[in-house]
Amino acid sequence: MPPIQPIVTHMFTADPRAHVFEGRLYVYPSHDIEAGVPENDEGDHFDMRDCHVLSMDEVGGEVTDHGVALRVEDIPWAGRQLWSNDAAYKDGTYYLYFPLKDRSDVFRIGVATSTSPAGPFTPEPEPIPGSFSIDPCVFRDRDGTHYMYFGGLWGGQLQRWRTGTYDPTVPRDPMDDGPALGPRIARLADDMKHFAEPVREITIVDEQGQPVRQQDRKRRFFEACWMHTYRGTYYLSYSTGDTHLLVYATGDNPYGPFTYRGVILTPVLGWTTHHSILEFKGKWWLFYHDSSLSGGKTHLRSVKVRELRYREDGAIEQMEGMDVAS
């Protein structure tokens, strides 16, 4: 099988969030650059400063780069690091959700709007009240309700919100073996710019119904959660971070709890991966990234896509990250 190629090669892209809007496939990636910032576990070298929108009529077809959709300098409350974004649509308006550090160097989640899925997007003057951490994923349920899933450890600062208040003294990687921190969820208000309820923590449990432990590093949540449904079941997928796996858990409602089910993608070339899953033209697709185009530089990544398959019992077939990714 030939190597899977990046969907674009004229720039570095990562963290793809894919959606079907107006019958066309749109991808909302981060835009990796060589910022000259030394690499560290806080992710300072991921110093993205704008984001683009990509689109295509079919997977494998010609990809259109619609240009810059949002810049850090256009965001009134901006500090630094415009990380993974996601998009949603409601009542004639497209919404772009993005994490960004404020001027106190604390990650918040902002929202910007456009009349086109391709942007450009105009940001709101303030971040979403009560938002924090990184990696927003906005999921539209069957009844039309929108939910935001978010959170990421280490540089994503989720561990600093363990008590509900930001505490910069909390260690990056707690060494206890208590229950793992879970991603967060909140239902969005009708205006799509606020939370309609208090933020909740999601519980991920093992096959025996016990919460996954902090030191169970091949199953615990780290970052990059995504939500989709298949045959009536809710699939929460996420990255395990320093063990470099893309895994999933299932539940019967948007809030969980979710039961760990297995690995979707084994480690790719690069530090970790970040993804989205959707159905398009009768097939299911996994969008993800690796560092093959940059020769393994962890901060210069490229978006790729491959077909995702389910078994009859609803399990996702595991894919190997390195066999065709480098």
List the catalytic residues.
15, 223
Q: Could you write out the DSSP letters of every residue in 191-243? A: TSSSBSS--EEPPEE-TTSPBPBTT-TTTS--EEEEEEEETTEEEEEEE-GGG
**Strands, E, within the chain: which ranges?**
12-21, 24-32, 50-56, 64-71, 86-90, 93-101, 107-114, 122-123, 137-140, 146-150, 184-187, 200-201, 204-205, 223-230, 233-239, 246-251, 258-265, 276-280, 283-290, 302-308
In sequence order, which residues have a C-beta less than 8 Å from that of residue 154 and are 6 or more positions away? 41, 42, 43, 172, 173, 222, 241
Q: Which of 286, 128, 237, 118 is nearest to 193 (CA)?
A: 128
Sign of the CA dihedral running 56, 193, 46, 297: negative
Say how far residue 307 (Cα) sits from the centre of its chain: 19
Instruction: Tell whether omega for the bond before 198 is within 30 degrees of 0, i.e. cis.
Output: no
The SS3 of residue 48 is: coil
Q: What is the DSSP letter of 158?
A: G
161 in Cβ contact with 202 (< 8 Å): no
305 in Cβ contact with 322 (< 8 Å): no
Buried b (16+ CB within 10 A) or exposed e, 211-223: bbebebbebbbbb
